[in-house]
């Protein structure tokens, strides 16, 4: 019988039972792709990660394979933070305070990860995302409104157009006028499928957000909806979408912009897993976005062993 050790963490949380839960298999070299997929389905979390040796010549320190319950994905934010928290906590990364930078290999390439620490304690983990790519703008707001069970009047397309954005994983950024609209949103499966049908094959996610947070120290209040296995599911805290959101807000001038713009995105309130996601968007001397960082704290929740 094959054994596989895993660690459960809560990402973007300062205490247990908040943020976004993640299962990390830190020693997954002996697992097949099929076994990884079955374990991810068994965990039934938004993502499960498997740490394996990096591809020869990649220059990475670790290779991380990221699975949702029904497929492997190219990159994701909260799994990156949780995985490298576990690797650092277990001593597989030598910490150099205040910030240790390591390289992660995922399907979209090799990406830096920053581990912040003080007096031997990990304070937060930051995923350094790709430069943003701004895709199509959605002119048919009715389709998006139906997908989120909202009305067209909840949107302000002239000021805040709905747009496809990617900083590693593409998300449809769907700003609405108020937090009440965010709170009312829910996935309508047939309309959701219709809304994402004309998009590239890997785009199955819509991020509804407003500049009307619960906590006045935050910038935005958001919810992430995805089409998974024929159903619409909600993510408690989404690192990849937060990077897209930060880039979008800076690109559109919807927040005060500087060479380094800091944004706090709150998520998960509606499903009882309040999260705070830190976003930093940097600009070069020419005014172009040249860096997107997403980070936050991680809480160690539990340990276990899977028997295959």
C-alpha to C-alpha distance for 186 and 173, rounded to whole angstroms:
15
Please report the pLDDT score of residue 200 as a whole number. 83
Please report the pLDDT score of residue 297 as a whole number. 97
* Same domain assignment for residues 190 and 238: yes
Average pLDDT, the chain: 96
Nearest Cα to 59, choosing from 111, 99, 15? 111
Structurally, the chain folds into a number of domains equal to 2
The pTM of the full predicted model, rounded to 2 decimals, is 0.94
Please report the pLDDT score of residue 280 as a whole number. 98
- The CATH number given to whatever domain includes residue 114 is 3.10.310.10
* Same domain assignment for residues 70 and 18: yes
Q: Is the model's pLDDT at 63 over the cut of 80?
A: yes
Q: Which two tokens stand for residue 261?
A: 């713009």
Please report the pLDDT score of residue 221 as a whole number. 98
Residue 49, strand partner residues: 24, 66
Q: What percentage of the chain reaches a pLDDT higher than 70?
A: 100
Q: Is the model's pLDDT at 231 over the cut of 90?
A: no
Q: How confident is the model at residue 34 (pLDDT cuts 50, 70, 90)?
A: very high
Query: For residues 240-262, b (16+ Cβ closer than 10 Å) or e, as one string?
Result: bbbbbbbbbbbbbeebebeeebe
pLDDT 10s digits, 155-200: 999 999 999 999 999 999 999 999 999 999 999 999 999 998 888 8
Which of 91-100, 166-175, 193-202, 293-302 has the least mean pLDDT? Answer: 193-202
* Same domain assignment for residues 151 and 261: yes
* Same domain assignment for residues 183 and 283: yes
Tell me the three state secondary structure of residue 10: strand
Q: Is 97 a catalytic residue?
A: no
* Same domain assignment for residues 155 and 183: yes
CB-hemisphere CA count at 13 Å for 166? 15
Q: Is the model's pLDDT at 229 over the cut of 80?
A: no
C-alpha to C-alpha distance for 156 and 175, rounded to whole angstroms:
8
* Same domain assignment for residues 47 and 161: no
The conformation of residue 298, written as its DSSP 8-state character, comes to: E
- Report the number of secondary-structure helices (H) and strands (E) in the chain: 6, 18
Q: Which two tokens stand for residue 148?
A: 């989120």
What proportions of the chain, in percent to the nearest 5, are helix, strand and coil? 20, 40, 40
29, 42, 47, 105: which is the annotated catalytic residue?
47
pLDDT 10s digits, 194-223: 998 888 877 889 999 999 999 999 999 999
Mean pLDDT value of segment 30-48: 96
* Same domain assignment for residues 7 and 123: yes
Please report the pLDDT score of residue 235 as a whole number. 94
Mean pLDDT value of segment 94-114: 96
* Same domain assignment for residues 152 and 167: yes
Residue 260, strand partner residues: 282
* Same domain assignment for residues 52 and 187: no
* Same domain assignment for residues 12 and 120: yes
* Same domain assignment for residues 225 and 117: no
- Pairing label, strands 99-106, 62-68: parallel
Please report the pLDDT score of residue 228 as a whole number. 78
Domain assignment of residue 28, given as a range = 3-131+297-307
Which of 66-70, 131-135, 225-229, 287-291 has the least mean pLDDT? Answer: 225-229
* Same domain assignment for residues 167 and 98: no
Q: Is the model's pLDDT at 267 over the cut of 90?
A: yes
The conformation of residue 153, written as its DSSP 8-state character, comes to: G
């Amino acid at each position: 019988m094959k054994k596989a050790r895993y660690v459960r963490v809560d990402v973007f949380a300062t205490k247990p039972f908040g943020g976004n839960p993640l299962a990390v298999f830190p020693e997954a070299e002996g697992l097949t792709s099929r076994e990884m997929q079955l374990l991810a389905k068994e965990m039934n979390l938004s993502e499960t990660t498997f740490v394996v040796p990096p591809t020869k010549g990649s220059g990475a320190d670790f290779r991380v394979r990221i699975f949702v319950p029904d497929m492997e994905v190219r990159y994701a934010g909260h799994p990156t933070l949780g995985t490298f928290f576990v690797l650092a906590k277990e001593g597989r990364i030598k910490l150099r305070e205040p910030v240790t930078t390591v390289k992660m290999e995922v399907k979209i390439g090799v990406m830096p990860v920053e581990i912040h620490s003080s007096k031997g304690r990990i304070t937060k983990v930051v995923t350094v995302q790709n430069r943003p790519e701004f895709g199509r703008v959605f002119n048919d707001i009715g389709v998006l409104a139906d997908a989120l069970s909202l009305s067209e009047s909840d949107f302000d397309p002239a000021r805040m157009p709905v747009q496809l954005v990617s900083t590693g994983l593409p998300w449809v950024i769907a700003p609405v006028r108020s937090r009440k609209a965010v709170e009312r949103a829910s996935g309508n499966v047939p309309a959701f499928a219709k809304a994402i049908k004309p998009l590239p094959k890997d785009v199955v996610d819509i991020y509804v957000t407003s500049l009307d947070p619960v906590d006045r120290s935050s910038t935005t209040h958001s919810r992430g909806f995805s089409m998974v296995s024929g159903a619409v599911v909600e993510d408690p805290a989404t690192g990849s979408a937060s990077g897209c959101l930060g880039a979008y807000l800076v690109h559109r001038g919807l927040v005060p912009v500087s060479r380094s713009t800091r944004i706090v995105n709150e998520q998960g309130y509606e499903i009882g897993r309040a999260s705070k996601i830190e976003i930093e968007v940097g600009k070069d001397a020419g005014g172009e976005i040249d860096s997107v960082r997403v980070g936050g704290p991680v809480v160690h929740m539990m340990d276990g062993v899977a028997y295959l």
